[in-house]
């Protein structure tokens, strides 16, 4: 996805975000920080998203996780009958929260969700995807990146990272969405 009108997007976030911590971060940004956080949408890399955590479209946060999950849910519902997904997370900051955020979107879209109750390494996710007959899996991790990063890696029904072709199809679904109007989610406790 290309460059966006970062000031307009920043103002949309101020208008729609309800979390006090995120609003505080947004209000504390100077123009350079606003531009860096909003000039583009976080790009998809190998198998998914990875970026610095914080507020903005160019950051890893609940909004980017929700939008990615809605796009993946749309893809799964279009390509699988009775889709299921396994979700795992590592010990990075916000990993458990991002896993719960993603699960709430999948559940709201009628997808059966399996979330590990505690942090697990990637091989356990790959096993769960295959063992439970899932259509996909998500690992919340930024692998080898520095501590300020987190990520959202997508796995196929074979337990391996998705192919470039599949990633392109999922990205097409994600790019169609507005995070504030098009994402369906339920409270995690209901998932």
Spatial CB neighbours of 128, under 8 Å, sequence gap ≥ 6: 86, 88, 114, 116, 134, 137
Length of the chain, please? 191
Spatial CB neighbours of 190, under 8 Å, sequence gap ≥ 6: 104, 107
**42 neighbors 58 (Cβ within 8 angstroms):** yes
**151 neighbors 141 (Cβ within 8 angstroms):** yes
Catalytic choice (88, 143, 187, 190): 143
Mark whether 143 is an active-site residue. yes
Residues serving a catalytic function are 143
């Amino acid at each position: 996805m290309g460059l966006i009108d970062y000031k307009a997007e920043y103002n949309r976030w101020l208008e729609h975000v309800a979390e006090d911590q995120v609003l505080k971060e947004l209000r504390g940004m100077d123009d350079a920080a606003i531009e860096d956080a909003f000039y583009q949408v976080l790009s998809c890399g190998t198998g998914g998203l990875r970026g610095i955590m914080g507020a903005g479209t160019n950051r890893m946060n609940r909004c980017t996780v929700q939008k990615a999950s809605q796009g993946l849910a749309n893809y799964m519902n279009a390509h699988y009958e009775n889709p299921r997904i396994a979700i795992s997370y590592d010990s990075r900051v916000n990993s458990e929260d991002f896993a719960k955020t993603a699960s709430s979107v999948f559940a709201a879209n009628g997808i059966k969700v399996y979330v590990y109750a505690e942090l697990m390494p990637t091989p356990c996710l790959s096993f769960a995807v295959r063992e439970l007959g899932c259509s996909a899996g998500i690992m919340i991790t930024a692998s080898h990146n520095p501590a300020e990063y987190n990520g959202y890696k997508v796995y196929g029904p074979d337990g391996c990272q998705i192919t470039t072709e599949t990633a392109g199809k999922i990205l097409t679904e994600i790019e169609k969405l507005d995070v504030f109007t098009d994402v369906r989610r339920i409270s995690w406790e209901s998932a």
